[in-house]
Amino acid sequence: MVKSELVQKLCNKHPSILRRDMEKIVDIIVFEIIESLCRNEAVEIRGLGRFKSVTRKARTGRNPKNSSIIQIPEKKAIRWKMSKILYNRLNKDFTENKISE
C-alpha cells in the first residue's frame, strides 16, 4: 500500500472529510513521526509497533567489485519492533496450530 491508497481508504471510511484534508492529516502524522525520530525520541503506535532511531557505529568494509577496503561512516538507522497484537494477527494460523496441539 502506498500513501495515496491509504488516503483513499481513509476517505472511503470517512466521506465527510475532504480528500485534500485527509492528505494533510496523513502528511502531518508522517512528518511528526519523522521529526520525533530525528530528535532521537521513540514513537509508539499501539497495535502497530515501536519505531526507534539507533546509531550504527563506523566500521571497515570491503567493496565487492574490487575488494578494496573502505571506511563506512557512523550513521543513523530505524529499528522497528512490532506489537504483540500485530504479531498475533500476522501469525494467526501459526498460533492456532500451536495451541491446538
pLDDT tens track of the chain, all 101 residues?
A: 999 999 999 999 999 999 999 999 999 999 999 999 999 999 999 999 999 999 999 999 999 999 999 999 999 999 999 999 999 999 887 666 665 55
CB 40 within 8 A of CB 60: no
If one counts the domains in the chain, the total is 2
* Report field, pTM of the whole predicted structure over 0.85: no
In which region does residue 48 sit, left (phi positive, over 0), alpha (psi from -120 to 50) or beta (all else)? Answer: alpha
Range of the structural domain that residue 32 is part of: 1-39
Range 76-91 burial, b when 16+ CB lie within 10 A, else e: eeeeeeeeeeeeeeee
Whether residues 61 and 100 share a domain: the answer is yes
Assess if residue 45 is contained within a domain. no
